[in-house]
Structure 1
Amino acid sequence: MGLLLKGGRLLNLETGSLESLDVLVEGSTISRIANSIEADGHEVVGLDGLTILPGFIDMHVHLRQPGFEGKETIATGTRAAARGGYTKVACMPNTRPVLDTPEQMKYVYEVTAREGSCTVLPYGAITKGELGEELTDIAGLRSAGAVAITDDGVGVQSSSLMREAMRIAASLDVPVVIHSEDEDLAKDGCMNEGVVSQRLGLPGIPGLAESAMIARDILLAQETGAHLHVCHISDAWSVELVRWAKSMGLRVTTEVTPHHLLLTESIIDATDGEDANMKVNPPLRAERDRLACLNGLLDGTIDMIATDHAPHTPEEKQRPFRTAPFGFVGLEFAFSVLYTELVEKSGSLPLHELVKKFATNPAEVFNLSGGRVVEGGIADITVVDLEAERVVAPDEFYSKGRNTPFAGQKAKGWTVLTVNEGRITYQA
């Protein structure tokens, strides 16, 4: 017996049209898409005109397990992901212990098999313990299922070490994913360096700390032939550097978060720097940077949207701004806030182009299954109600994290059904 999604409207990713089609799932595969499919003993989910999309893919999340289960676990994080329409997430390695061995890759896969509500793709660390001193066994990590390598949370400061990592990664066709931050420039900054940080008396992180590291790693990627993927881009010059790299034919891709597309340092100013729920790394920057990120998304310089879902305990986020940890959560509402702001309100991005940034492009860039709803394809499907409107309500999150600057914001386009490899993982 299969799963029949009946009476929905399937988004055509090429034309942007919504087509009245039924979708039949058998096992983990989409077996048939047609105008009308008979129930014929299948489990039927009536969609009544709701919108059928490919399952979302988030290539940047922090599930915190092992070591920080008070903030999040694989179980709670993937439940949150499914609620937000995600069928695949890639988890960062800055856990304790760090995900820097094949055994740690195996651990993530085993826990996900028991407790997960979506597919989890672990990243392997570039350096042992993310200490920036000695390379990991990159080939061993890849063989054990690492989707790519990264020291996210910290930037690899040694140019020679990163050069060698890229050489090895290029030979294995492993993407190198970078947290771009020159620590000597960033120092002990806690927000964007500029007039707002000066007014509030808070140490700033200059955009140069990001763009300088991106420039270095683009040149290393050019020399080694590695696929370089830039995490959570936030700075105007960084966007320009990636645009240049693409124009030169280099294998350079990037992602942007909802908060760097929609928010600026002005929200920190409005709270007098007293609400650490506004603190993230890279920091919320100036309006010119936000516009550069938005324009980069619109013109294809930025390939995909990632949440950088980074849960913390309420106690941690109640600390003073200087000492509270960086990070926002976002899995449960990322699509909704961006659909509302970019598609509904401004009309700057068509729905099908937004969905490509959430699903199709991540699949293509990282050579993953999914990203499209097609016959014979994997049954990773998200159904959304584009008319439903509600507020972002942290008290209702499935995630353990509540730390978001979007709390209370009204949004449309909420997930009502998520199907991961043929299995219903969320149903409103």
Structure 2
Amino acid sequence: MSNQNHERHESNGPQELDALSNDALWQSTLTANAARRRAIARLLMHLALIEERRLHLVRGYSSLYDLCVRCLGMSEGQAHRSVSGAHAARSFPPALEMIADGRLHLTGLSLIAKRLTPENHVQLLEDVAGKTKADILIVLARWFPRPDVPDRVEPVSGGSAGGEQGNLGLDGAQRSRVEPLSEERFLVHFSGSAELKAKLEHAQNLMSHVSRRLEVVFERALDSLIRELENKQWGKTERPRRSGGRKDQRPSRADKREVYERDGAQCSYVSPSGVRCTARAFLQYDHVDPLGKGGGGEARNGRLLCAAHNDLHARQAYGSEVIDEKIRRARATAEQAGAADASQDTKDKCDKLRVALVTMGFKKTECCKVVAALGTEAERLPLDQLIREALLRLTPR
């Protein structure tokens, strides 16, 4: 069978997939993923043999990496991972088996490839089995710990934030990174504004009788922030009151606190097969029996759901058409409010421009004409730039 015929035989077109039931689609996805894993393992073995025979050189490619990018059409990152994986799989065949059966992904293998030795590969592969990239980095930090690094705050140029990936700097870049140094210690990089730097230094001065170390300052600040937000969002406090068993539609602070602590600050959705959602961000208070269908606000009818599973429950309870319409109305209202705010901002900016020009000694009638002419520009230009534009029009050349 030719490659073309084989691909046609193996592929499932959109129409064929659309005809599958939910259970069949799920099973088909698992089957396709298993085939993907086996294909990756087979490809790594091919690459290892090609390099061993120097076949890539004969075919005109300077390296295995060059072959992966120019011939196989991989991205640079994918090529790097594939080359690292091929080297490791050739020297340590158990890694190839783990790729094929899903116990290890290609990114994970590329992370540990240079750390594998004949002496440690069995235990190290066992330790990283079934783990995410972040978990594997922690395993590596446990195996090969590094010392803490000293605190450092330094300015970064506007174009260099990506290279440093977020030392606390002055350019306002939003890049950040958390890098494990050992099993219990992490290196945290991020960028911030000059205002943040000033606040940090002020906090260090206020904390100087305890410690000026960034770790201590940030931990104290985060402890305070967590207490504030848990209290505000979920009613968590050092002196909690018991729930009064209210049966109206709005849950009390005590109800929210009880549900938050009971569900462990995590989405409580569990699939029919027993898989629990692990989301801890964008949590929402959901009613098991929906409010619109007679459900009450007491804790026993409450649960934590992430936004996605809350939306799923709402669609199951009320239907997608009803929820889509609610979302459409909410977005329309938000857009109208945003347009009104923008319109008011533009009006305020024009008023300030008119006052500034009159204060400079220009006639009021001329100022009003210029402000009207610049009305559309006022939506996008800052006030100082608007003043410069107005002066160019008012000042004779």
Structure-2-length-normalised TM-score = 0.20
Greater relative contact order (Cα < 8 A, sep 6+): 1
Larger radius of gyration: 2
User: More helix by proportion, 1 or 2?
Assistant: 2
Structure-1-length-normalised TM-score = 0.19
